[in-house]
Amino acid sequence: MSSTPWFWIVVVAVVVLVAVLVAGLLIARRRRISLDESKAADVVEKPKGGGYTATGGIALAPGGEKTEEAEEAEHPVEDRPETDGQPAVGDDASVPRDSAQRTVRDVELPEPAEETAPEPVPAEEIAPASGRLERLRGRLGKSRSVFGQSLLGLLGAGDLDEDSWQDVEDTLLMADLGAATTTEIVERLREELKRRAVRTSEDARAVLQEVLTSALSTDAVRAVRALPHTVDGVKQPAVVLVAGVNGTGKTTTTGKLARVLVAQGSTVVLGAADTFRAAAADQLQTWAERVGAEVVRGKEGADPAAVAFDAVKRGTEAGVDAVLVDTAGRLHTKTGLMDELGKVKRVVEKQAKVDEVLLVLDATTGQNGLMQARVFSEVIDVTGIVLTKLDGTAKGGIVFQVQRELGVPVKLVGLGEGPDDLAPFEPGAFVEALLSS
Ligand SMILES: Nc1nc2c(ncn2[C@@H]2O[C@H](COP(=O)(O)OP(=O)(O)OP(=O)(O)O)[C@@H](O)[C@H]2O)c(=O)[nH]1
């Protein structure tokens, strides 16, 4: 083989190699990173937030009132197929640059509206407290049928044999008068009927009324100490503590009592020291609003003694006539809760004397109510009893027992859930109501 072809093959290979080397050098040069600082300075840092710069404060509108109608949107939501106000297919993502711009213009600001005092809330009409027991006589219906019909039926029948006297005794026991009071009343009835030689049912009724009324009489003052007094020439509100077990009607009684006081021209602060149940404070607040009294309440679970203290402090500062403190319902069997009630009283007494401690008892609980009363009076020195729900029981006789056993007068009776269904307790009117047909 001749050497000519080999010569040409070597020449072509060298040419191709040179061409590849030149191309590689050119590409490498283009890719090299420039570290020239002057070029880096030309890069302008973009402000964060897409170039938005606030020129003023956030626009604010008065709360609670309706603001001016917003201008009609260019693409009203209602014209869109979807309802949530999100952009729809075909909507511009942003306002086109050539769209009409709003210019600055003067606008007439409306004259500020003259401040008008809020319309005073008309106070609810409150039934006068005097003569309430007579008006609520019908509410004693169940107890009345036991006393009025059974007793009068037995006594009006003329001379009573031993069986009849046994029936009288049973009737009194069933009405929750308790053994001791029943024995005492039966003895007095026998004596009086014999002494006066009673023959007619009219006379028998009169004797019964007299004996029952005297069994309820006491030398203790029945007036609720809820009027202000003066200490060193300074007016002090009366401080009333309302206590009792759960659901006896403490909050309702506190509200009803506040109504009575306000109706008589007193100013009242209510202390919601029932911090266990948020609803209890709300309930008291509703009463306060209806009556026109101020309410002092704490956070749920707050120390009831602190709330009671604050309520009395507020009442004293505001110069009101009475501060009524509603305490949490508690089981008389729970020592901790009872201790806490004692603390409420002690803490309040650091700044003012507690003038009245009302123990609220539910008449429908009968003997159990009596046990509660005993424990409560050991802890807080009860000065008056409020017997509630007398409208719902045949055991109105509990009044006799409570008073006799505790030596504390029944001062008020609850005869319904209505705001004016609280009556002062008057033995004569109460017995009259029990015996009325
Ligand atoms: N029929 C009748 N119901 C009453 C009377 N007093 C209160 N009540 C009702 O008894 C229920 C309990 O009353 P509240 O005032 O909430 O009792 P409370 O003792 O404050 O209850 P707690 O805060 O849970 O301890 C409510 O439904 C009242 O309307 C009354 O004299 N007669």
State the complex-level ipTM. Answer: 0.97
Residue 387 in tokens:
């017997």
Q: List pLDDT tens digits, range 323-351.
A: 999 988 777 667 777 788 889 999 999 98
390 is in an annotated binding site: yes
Residue 262 lies in a domain: yes
Residue 136 lies in a domain: no
Mean pLDDT of 148-172: 82
Residue 407 in tokens:
């030596």
Which one of 140, 241, 252 would you pick to mutate in the ligand 1 pocket, going by the greatest count of ligand atoms within 8 A of its CB?
Answer: 252
Closest atom of ligand 1 relative to the 256 alpha carbon: 6
Confidence of residue 110 (pLDDT cuts 50, 70, 90): low
Residue 412 CB–ligand 1 contact under 6 Å:
no
How many whole angstroms from 411 Cα to the centroid of ligand 1?
17
Q: Which residues contact 67 (CB under 8 A, 6 or more apart)?
A: 61
Q: Exposed/middle/buried for 41, CB within 10 Å: 0-12, 13-18, 19+?
A: exposed
What is the reported pLDDT for 187? Answer: 94
Residue 185 lies in a domain: no
What does each C-alpha distance from 384 to 340, 409, 434 come to in angstroms? 20, 5, 22
Residue 357 lies in a domain: yes
83 pLDDT more than 50: no
Residue 254 CB–ligand 1 contact under 6 Å:
no
Mean pLDDT of 229-252: 91
Confidence of residue 4 (pLDDT cuts 50, 70, 90): confident
* Distance, CA of 19 to CA of 23 (rounded, Å): 6
Closest atom of ligand 1 relative to the 280 alpha carbon: 23
**Highest mean pLDDT: which of 55-59, 61-65, 264-268?**
264-268
Which one of 417, 420, 422, 425 would you pick to mutate in the ligand 1 pocket, going by the greatest count of ligand atoms within 8 A of its CB?
Answer: 417
Q: For residue 370, give the CATH number of its domain.
A: 3.40.50.300
Q: How many Cα atoms within 13 Å fall on the side-chain side of residue 345? A: 21
For the chain, the domain total comes to: 1
Residue 319 lies in a domain: yes
Q: Which residues contact 15 (CB under 8 A, 6 or more apart)?
A: none
What does each C-alpha distance from 296 to 27, 267, 284, 300 come to in angstroms? 86, 14, 10, 13
Which structural domain range is residue 272 located in? 229-382
Residue 372 CB–ligand 1 contact under 6 Å:
no
76 pLDDT more than 90: no
152 is in an annotated binding site: no
Q: Which residues contact 133 (CB under 8 A, 6 or more apart)?
A: 413, 423, 424, 425, 426, 429, 430, 433
Residue 252 CB–ligand 1 contact under 6 Å:
yes
Residue 9 lies in a domain: no
Residue 249 CB–ligand 1 contact under 6 Å:
yes
Q: In what order do the strands lie in the sheet with 268-273?
A: 294-297, 268-273, 322-327, 238-243, 356-362, 384-388, 410-414, 422-424
- Output 177 or 71, whichever has higher pLDDT: 177
How many other C-beta atoms can be found within 10 angstroms of the C-beta atom of residue 94?
6
Q: List pLDDT tens digits, range 296-317.
A: 998 877 888 999 999 999 999 9
Name the nearest CA neighbour of 422 among 124, 139, 125, 219.
Answer: 139
Nearest CA, atom 10, ligand 1: 249
Confidence of residue 293 (pLDDT cuts 50, 70, 90): very high
How many whole angstroms from 233 Cα to the centroid of ligand 1?
39
280 pLDDT more than 70: yes
Given a contact cutoff of 8 angstroms between Cβ atoms, the answer to whether 432 and 131 are in contact is no
Three-state SS at 325: strand
